[in-house]
Chains A and B, each alone.
Chain A
Amino acid sequence: MPINDRNGVKVWQVRDRNNQLIRWAMWMAAGIIFYVSWMKISDQTTWFFVYDAPRIAADIGGRALPPRWGYISQLGKPIWDTLNIATLGTVFALMMAVPIAFLAARNTTPSKLFIRPIALLVIVSTRSINSLIWALLLVSIIGPGVFAGMIAISIRSIGFCAKLLYEAIEEIDETQVEAITATGATRWQVMVYGIVPQILPAFAGIAVFRWDINIRESTVLGLVGAGGIGLQLQSSLNTLAWPQVSLILAVILVAVVIGEFISAKVRGAII
Chain B
Amino acid sequence: MNVTLETQIGTPWKKPPFIKNSTLRWGLLIIAVVYFFMALGSMDVNWNRVYQGLERGRRFVAAFLHPDFGSRASDIKEGMMESVIMTVTSTVVGIAISIPIALGAARNIAPLPVYLVCRFIISISRALNEIIVAILFVAIFGFGPLAGFLTLSFATIGFLAKLLAEEIEDMNKVQAEAVKATGSSWLQWINFGVQPQIMPRLIGLSIYRLDINFRESAVLGLVGAGGIGATLNTAFDRYEFDTVAAILLIIIVVVMVLEYLSGIIRARVQ
Min CB gap A230→B, angstroms: 9
Min CB gap A139→B, angstroms: 9
Q: Does the CB pair A34–B89 fall under 8 Å?
A: yes
B-side contacts of A204, CB under 8 Å:
18
Q: Does the CB pair B127–A253 fall under 8 Å?
A: yes
Whether B222 is near chain A, meaning CB under 8 Å from some CB there, is yes
Q: Does the CB pair B139–A60 fall under 8 Å?
A: yes
A49 touches which of B35, B60, B141, B219 (Cβ 8 Å):
B141
Interfacial residues of chain A within 46-94, with CB under 8 A of chain B in the complex? 46, 49-50, 53, 56-57, 60, 80-81, 83-84, 87-88, 91
Whether A226 is near chain B, meaning CB under 8 Å from some CB there, is no
User: Which of A41, A87, A88, A216 has the most CB atoms of chain B within a 10 A radius of its CB?
Assistant: A41
Taken together as a complex, chains A and B put the C-alpha atoms of A216 and B239 apart, in Å, by: 28
Taken together as a complex, chains A and B put the C-alpha atoms of A129 and B236 apart, in Å, by: 15
Taken together as a complex, chains A and B put the C-alpha atoms of A136 and B141 apart, in Å, by: 25
Interfacial residues of chain B within 128-164, with CB under 8 A of chain A in the complex? 128-129, 131-132, 135-136, 139-142, 144-146, 149
Min CB gap B145→A, angstroms: 5
Whether B86 is near chain A, meaning CB under 8 Å from some CB there, is yes
Given contacts A129-B252, A219-B129, contact A37 B50 (CB under 8 A): no
Interfacial residues of chain B within 25-63, with CB under 8 A of chain A in the complex? 35-36, 39-40, 42-46, 49-50, 53-54, 56-57, 60
Whether B223 is near chain A, meaning CB under 8 Å from some CB there, is yes
Q: Does the CB pair B85–A41 fall under 8 Å?
A: yes
Q: Does the CB pair B89–A128 fall under 8 Å?
A: no
Q: Does the CB pair B88–A124 fall under 8 Å?
A: no
Q: How many residues of chain A get a CB closer than 8 Å to chain B's CBs? A: 60
A-side contacts of B135, CB under 8 Å:
237
User: Which of A30, A60, A147 has the most CB atoms of chain B within a 10 A radius of its CB?
Assistant: A147
Min CB gap B241→A, angstroms: 9
Min CB gap B89→A, angstroms: 5
Instruction: Specify the main secondary structure of chain A where it touches its partner.
Output: helix
- Closest residue of B by beta carbon distance from A128: B255
Whether B205 is near chain A, meaning CB under 8 Å from some CB there, is no
Whether A113 is near chain B, meaning CB under 8 Å from some CB there, is no
Taken together as a complex, chains A and B put the C-alpha atoms of A45 and B251 apart, in Å, by: 25
Whether A141 is near chain B, meaning CB under 8 Å from some CB there, is yes
Q: Mark B167-186, 1 if CB is under 8 A from A, else 0.
A: 00000000000000000000
Interfacial residues of chain B within 1-33, with CB under 8 A of chain A in the complex? 15, 18
Whether B92 is near chain A, meaning CB under 8 Å from some CB there, is yes
- Closest residue of A by beta carbon distance from B41: A84
Whether B242 is near chain A, meaning CB under 8 Å from some CB there, is no
A-side contacts of B82, CB under 8 Å:
40, 44
In the complex, besides A41-B85, A256-B127, 19 extra interface pairs with C-beta distance below 8 angstroms are A37-B88, A40-B81, A41-B89, A41-B149, A45-B142, A45-B145, A56-B139, A83-B39, A88-B40, A127-B255, A129-B251, A130-B216, A130-B219, A132-B222, A136-B233, A141-B57, A145-B46, A220-B131, A252-B132
Smallest CB-CB A-B distances: 10 pairs? A128-B255, A49-B142, A143-B49, A142-B53, A84-B39, A37-B85, A45-B146, A220-B131, A141-B57, A141-B53
